[in-house]
Amino acid sequence: MPKSSIQFFSEDIPFILKNKGKIRQWLDTTIRHEGKHTGMLNFIFCSDSYLLNINRQYLNHDTYTDIITFDTSEEKKEISGDIFISIERVKENAVKFGVSEFDEVCRIVIHGTLHLIGYKDKSKADKALMTQKEDQYLSARSSV
């Protein structure tokens, strides 16, 4: 089993995530609860334009998005990947949904983690399950 690591980076914008240690613990607990183990997870916080360039280059999509997840897992039970998150989308969504920016960051962080675990959100049914899982794990983060 490879060494586990959950890291947070800021690529082209000034952003510092609060409560990194507690968020790492929350994510690791979530991953274990889903029957997996934590590999190497990198969360990269960036601007809209940075994420748009990634979306164009790797996915051939010319649209803004809040998150792009790249799975680098080498084992079926391991969760590893690079998760790029637009802080500008997070801020806009926080206002739109009437939540704090920190709560929205946590929602998008768990969303990306759930993608790596194997949950999808393309169909209506998949999206409903993804939202249910997000809500479940967000309610479990009371200490974050």
Domains of the chain plus CATH, in order, are 5-139 (3.40.390.30)
Asked whether residue 1 carries a pLDDT value surpassing 60, the answer given is: no
pLDDT per position as a tens digit, 61-102: 999 999 999 999 999 999 999 999 999 999 999 999 999 999
93 DSSP assignment: H
Q: Does 111 belong to an annotated binding site?
A: yes
Give which of 93, 78, 75, 88 is closest to 134, Cα–Cα: 93
Mean pLDDT of the chain: 94
**pLDDT top residue among 5 and 2:** 5
Edge to edge, the sheet with strand 37-46 lists: 5-10, 37-46, 78-86, 67-71
Q: Does 61 belong to an annotated binding site?
A: no
Question: Does the predicted model carry a pTM greater than 0.85?
Answer: yes
